[in-house]
């Protein structure tokens, strides 16, 4: 295997997302202790989590554009600093207002990390862009699997709950020190090389008498990808948020069986990350995305049509986790970067802004629908639209680049 001089940089980027995985659930996992610290209820403490979404949408788009202008490293460093403010602030905050501001900082940290990290990984691993981005999902899932054990272990030992916050903060200190000198690929040079390669391929096709590939259309192709950014987030958001309730109210499952659906869903997500990492060297991301979206549509449709068997529901929950939440969103972003190689940070900003908007609007749709079965049917429609959208993207890819094969 060819040695990559940026391997340590990549590892530290992954460790930032291990911390991010903890950051997303750190408040809910320590809700009782933080509620006492803030002078509110556990429900009030968990409500602070919504501030992460507010912070995320504030700077996501602009930081993506600036990442293309100033490089990836400054935005990774900003993400680390803002996350450090969040974690350290949690230890010393005394009221809900300060906590909400800290949550906004965490959301902004996530946006800074996204617009620096996703493009950087695609530049570090140009021959495995999709796999490198999907692996981020594995680090996030691993952290979210581990943190509840840390929290419960501290509680059982009668230890200070704050150690569960100190641990991710300490990891961030290590990554911050590394990135003071840690090297990144030259993003502008990489973009110029990719554009030159595309021009040479087009010239070669013209010399052979073939029709030269046309350039991507920022309005048509950009709209398709922004729609998919919204659809992919909406698809797995609805399932992940309502799986337990759907199992209880529609499938008449016991509490334990209904809660187990989330475990099957999470297991499916992790298995897909591993599967994609293995086959990512043989298939292009654009080949996988329509297949995954079709699988998500079929699984959600069957969950809506046949919610009768606990065994079937478990299998389908696994399938939805595999196809809808196992990294297909990251693969979609990777394909978008192929369409717009000179603006990886910008496309990351647009793509994930669409996802953030879905996180805000889908709960409103769920609340407006009369019941769980109607919500599931709405998710069926959204998943179908996702398959149609990604199929069109694949057709456009073949039109632009000549082949879907690697």
Tokens of 32: 């009782």
State pLDDT tens for residues 144-203: 888 888 998 999 999 999 999 999 999 999 999 999 999 898 877 877 776 666 666 555
One of 1.20.1250.20, 1.25.60.10, 2.60.120.260, 1.10.275.10 is the CATH number of 7-185, namely: 1.20.1250.20
State pLDDT tens for residues 216-251: 788 899 999 999 999 998 998 888 778 888 888 888
pLDDT value for 197: 66
Return all residues near 202 (Cβ < 8 A) that are at least 6 apart.
212, 213
3-state class of 209 per DSSP? coil
CA distance to 56, 72, 110, 115, 219, per residue, from 346 (Å) = 15, 11, 15, 8, 14
Cα 401–Cα 404–Cα 406 angle in degrees, nearest 5: 100
Rounded distance, CA 193 to CA 340, Å?
A: 13
pLDDT value for 195: 65
pLDDT value for 1: 39
Helices (H), 208-254: 220-249
Q: Under CATH, which architecture does the 216-401 domain have?
A: Up-down Bundle (1.20)
52 against 113, higher pLDDT: 113
CATH 1.20.1250.20 region(s) of the chain?
A: 7-185, 216-401
Instruction: Decide if 360 contacts 301 (C-beta within 8 A).
Output: no
Instruction: Determine the distance from the C-alpha atom of residue 297 to the mean position of all C-alpha atoms in its chain, rounded to a whole number.
Output: 19
pLDDT value for 137: 84
Instruction: Decide if 51 contacts 93 (C-beta within 8 A).
Output: no
State pLDDT tens for residues 4-23: 889 999 999 999 999 998 99
């Amino acid at each position: 295997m060819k040695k990559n001089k940026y391997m340590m940089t990549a590892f530290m980027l992954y460790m930032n997302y291990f911390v991010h995985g903890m950051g997303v659930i750190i408040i809910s996992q320590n809700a009782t202790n933080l509620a006492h610290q803030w002078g509110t209820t556990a429900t009030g403490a968990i409500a602070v989590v919504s501030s992460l979404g507010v912070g995320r949408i504030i700077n996501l788009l602009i930081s993506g554009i600036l990442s293309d202008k100033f490089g990836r490293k400054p935005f990774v460093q900003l993400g680390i600093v803002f996350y450090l403010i969040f974690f350290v602030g949690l230890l010393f905050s005394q009221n809900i207002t300060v906590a909400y501001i800290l949550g906004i900082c965490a959301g902004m940290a996530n946006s800074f990390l996204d617009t620096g990290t996703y493009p950087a990984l695609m530049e570090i691993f140009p021959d495995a862009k999709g796999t490198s981005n999907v692996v981020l999902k594995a680090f996030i899932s691993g952290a979210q699997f581990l943190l509840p054990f840390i929290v419960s272990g501290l509680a059982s030992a009668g230890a200070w709950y704050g150690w569960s916050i100190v641990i991710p903060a300490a990891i961030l200190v290590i990554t911050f020190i590394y990135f003071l000198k840690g090297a990144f690929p030259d993003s502008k040079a990489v973009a110029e090389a990719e554009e030159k390669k595309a021009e040479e391929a087009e010239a070669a096709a013209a010399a052979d008498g073939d029709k030269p590939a046309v350039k991507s259309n920022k309005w048509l192709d950009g709209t398709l990808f922004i729609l998919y950014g919204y659809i992919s987030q909406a698809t797995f958001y609805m399932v992940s948020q309502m799986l337990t309730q759907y199992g209880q109210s529609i499938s008449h499952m016991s509490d334990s069986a209904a809660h187990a659906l989330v475990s099957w869903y999470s297991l499916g997500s992790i298995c897909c990350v591993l599967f994609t990492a293995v086959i990512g060297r043989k298939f292009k991301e654009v080949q996988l995305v329509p297949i995954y979206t079709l699988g998500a549509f079929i699984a959600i449709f069957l969950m809506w049509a046949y919610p009768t068997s606990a065994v079937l529901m478990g299998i389908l929950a696994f399938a939805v986790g595999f196809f809808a939440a196992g990294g297909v969103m990251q693969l979609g972003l990777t394909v978008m970067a192929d369409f717009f190689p000179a603006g990886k940070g910008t496309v990351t900003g647009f793509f994930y802004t669409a996802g953030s908007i879905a996180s805000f609007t889908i709960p409103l749709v769920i609340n407006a629908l009369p019941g769980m079965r109607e919500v599931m049917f709405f998710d069926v429609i959204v998943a179908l639209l996702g398959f149609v959208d990604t199929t069109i993207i694949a057709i456009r890819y073949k039109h632009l680049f000549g082949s879907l094969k690697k």
